[in-house]
Amino acid sequence: MAKYSKKAGEKVEKAMHEKKKGTLKSGKSGKKVTSRKQAIAIGLSEAREKGAKVPKAPAKKKTPAKKKTATKKTASRKKA
């Protein structure tokens, strides 16, 4: 199990209280946060910025590039 510092726990707790009050806002957009997971992520992010012991954020999964499928072309009809 990952180890988090007390400071990180306090930041997450603060973010959760703000979410419940309805005052927690997200980054650039400034929209109100309604998701529990997003509130936790914000708390951990703030803790990282302050230098608290927080494990690395999980790397985003890369999706393989989609192959282009050949499109079927319809033959143009000639007027007779």
* 4-52 tens-digit pLDDT: 899 999 999 999 999 999 999 988 889 999 999 999 999 999 998 888 8
pLDDT of residue 12: 93
Give how many domains the chain has, as a whole number. Answer: 1
3-state DSSP assignment of residue 22: coil
Instruction: Give the Cα separation of 38 and 48 in Å (integer).
Output: 15
Per the model's pLDDT, the better-predicted residue between 77 and 52 turns out to be 52
Asked if the structure places residue 58 within a domain, the reply is: no
Asked if the structure places residue 29 within a domain, the reply is: yes
pTM: 0.64
Asked if the structure places residue 18 within a domain, the reply is: yes
Asked if the structure places residue 12 within a domain, the reply is: yes
Asked if the structure places residue 42 within a domain, the reply is: yes
pLDDT at 77 over 70: no
Asked if the structure places residue 15 within a domain, the reply is: yes
Domain of residue 37: give its range.
6-49
